[in-house]
């Protein structure tokens, strides 16, 4: 090392040569780690492009995106741990005692680290079982939103109002995925009791057929409208239920557009969408008669006629 330094024109005190040598080795380790990290990222990018070419549906695309991010995350963590251990070795710090001390400390803090271990295991099985992918709209741990990032440690959700939730995977005991394979646009329509339900059913079918012929919304609808029939006799309306099978994440857009078109169809055919109303009944006397209801009107100045 001293001869090499003298050859490049550097004079270093004899006592400093070991430190210079260790510093150069650490620099070399960091350079090698950087090169390895670049190679890993390039390999992941190649794998991602290859997998995306073979993906023939949005579900596969989201799964490839998710796995690519997680693989990069895990590879980065492993590489950082390896670099740190190698630097400690070059600095003359024995790793074996550290590992032994880590075992003792691990027993002491094991109970406190249970949640962290649970997070990693839960995150691993979430990915292994394909329960959540980046881009899915889910409800987990009491929050709803679109998945922006998944790691073994947490899931990042963005709610409809833009709020970002970071949810530890260990808290996820139930996953409600609203965008897995396909979605359903559920529509409940209320009509007046006096309306002919057969006419109402035909109006709903016609509006749905018109929507499916639309060049913008037609590709989002996978099947014809499924008219489920009368769902409920409400206080002021007969509730009719129908649903569409649609592309994932398009259920809200399809539902809003269908309701807009259905309102125009009902207006054109004179089908009433009622406001809530009440029928007043004064009761009956024991003799079978009932007192008449008196309607009292007021003039504009507030005086009674």
Give how far Cα 229 sits from Cα of 190, 196, 198, 243, Å.
12, 13, 10, 10
Of 1.10.3720.10, 3.90.340.10, 2.30.30.60, 2.40.160.40, which CATH number belongs to 125-177?
2.30.30.60
- Classify residue 36 as exposed, middle or buried by CB count within 10 Å of its CB (0-12, 13-18, 19+): middle
Q: Does the global pTM surpass 0.75? A: no
Token pair recorded at residue 191: 């009509």
Contact status, residue 274 vs residue 191, Cβ threshold 8 Å: yes
pLDDT of residue 108: 46
**Do the beta carbons of residue 238 and residue 196 sit within 8 Å?**
no
Do 47 and 68 form a contact (C-beta atoms < 8 A)? yes
pLDDT along the chain (305 residues), means of 10: 50 54 77 85 80 68 71 78 78 64 52 62 74 86 87 85 88 85 91 92 94 92 92 90 92 94 93 77 65 62 52
Q: Specify the CATH number of the domain 183-269.
A: 3.30.70.100
**pLDDT, position 187:** 94
Domain boundaries, the chain: 2-100, 125-177, 183-269
Beta bridge partners, 273, equal none
User: Residue 17: CB partners within 8 Å, gap ≥ 6?
Assistant: 1, 2, 5
Query: What CA–CA distance (Å, rounded) separates 49 from 270?
Result: 55
For the stretch 153-192, what's the b/e string if a residue is b when 16 or more beta carbons lie within 10 angstroms of its beta carbon?
Answer: bbbbbeeeeeeebebbbbbbeebebbbbeebebebebbbe
């Amino acid at each position: 090392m001293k001869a090499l330094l003298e050859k490049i024109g550097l004079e270093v005190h004899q006592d400093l040569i070991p430190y210079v040598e260790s510093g150069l080795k650490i620099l070399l380790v960091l350079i090698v780690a950087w090169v390895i990290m670049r190679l890993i990222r390039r390999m992941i990018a190649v794998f991602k492009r290859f997998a995306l070419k073979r993906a023939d549906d949005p579900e596969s695309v989201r799964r490839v995106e998710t796995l690519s991010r997680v693989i990069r995350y895990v590879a980065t963590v492993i590489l950082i741990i390896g670099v740190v251990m190698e630097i400690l070795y070059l600095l003359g710090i024995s790793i074996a005692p550290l590992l032994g001390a880590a075992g003792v400390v691990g027993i002491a803090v094991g109970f406190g680290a249970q949640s962290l271990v649970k997070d990693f295991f839960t995150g691993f099985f979430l990915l292994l079982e394909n329960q959540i992918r980046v881009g899915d709209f889910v409800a987990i741990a009491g929050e709803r939103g679109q998945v922006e990032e998944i790691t073994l440690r947490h899931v990042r959700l963005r709610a409809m109002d833009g709020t970002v939730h970071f949810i530890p995977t260990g808290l996820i005991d139930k996953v409600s995925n609203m965008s897995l394979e396909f979605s359903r646009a559920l529509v409940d329509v209320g009509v007046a009791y006096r309306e002919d339900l057969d006419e109402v059913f035909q109006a709903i079918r016609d509006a749905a057929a018109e929507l499916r012929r639309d060049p913008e919304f037609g590709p989002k609808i996978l099947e014809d409208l499924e008219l489920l029939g009368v769902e409920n006799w409400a206080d002021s309306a007969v509730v009719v239920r129908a649903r569409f099978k649609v592309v994932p994440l398009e259920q809200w857009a399809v539902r809003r557009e269908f309701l807009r078109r259905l309102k125009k169809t009902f207006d054109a055919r004179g089908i009433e969408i009622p406001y809530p109303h009440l029928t007043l009944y004064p009761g009956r006397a024991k003799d079978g008669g009932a007192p008449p209801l008196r309607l009292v009107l007021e003039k504009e100045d507030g005086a009674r006629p």
